[in-house]
Amino acid sequence: MAETDVLAWRIDRGRLERSIEELGRIGATPRGGLTRLALTDEDRRGRDQMVAWMREAGLRITVDRMGNIFGERAGSVPGLPPVMMGSHVDSVPTGGRYDGQLGVLCGLEAIRALNEHAVRTRHPVTLVIFTNEEGARFQPAMIASGVMAGKIALEDAYNARDRDGIRLVDELERIGYLGPEPCVARPMRAYLELHIEQGPFLEEEGLSVGVVEGIVAIAWSRLTITGVQDHAGPTPMRIRHDALVAAAEVVAGARRIATEIGGDLVTTVGTLAVTPNIVNAIPGRVAMSIDMRDPRDAALDRARDMLDELVRAACAREGVTYELEHYWRVPCTAFTPDVIAAVERAARATGARFHRIRSGAGHDAQYMAAIGPTGMIFVPSHEGRSHCEEEFTAIEDIEDGANTLFLAALDLAERA
Please report how close the Cβ of residue 348 comes to Zn ion at its closest, in angstroms: 26
> Would you say 99 or 391 has its CB closer to Zn ion?
99
Please report how close the Cβ of residue 195 comes to Zn ion at its closest, in angstroms: 6
142 conformational bin, left if phi > 0, alpha if psi -120 to 50, beta if neither: left
Query: In the complex, which residues of this chain contact Zn ion (CB under 5 A)?
Result: 99-100
> Would you say 43 or 242 has its CB closer to Zn ion?
43
> Would you say 130 or 177 has its CB closer to Zn ion?
130
Cβ-proximal residue to Zn ion, closest one: 100
> Would you say 100 or 210 has its CB closer to Zn ion?
100
Please report how close the Cβ of residue 407 comes to Zn ion at its closest, in angstroms: 23
Please report how close the Cβ of residue 187 comes to Zn ion at its closest, in angstroms: 25
> Would you say 92 or 190 has its CB closer to Zn ion?
92
Please report how close the Cβ of residue 223 comes to Zn ion at its closest, in angstroms: 26
Please report how close the Cβ of residue 387 comes to Zn ion at its closest, in angstroms: 9
> Would you say 97 or 123 has its CB closer to Zn ion?
97
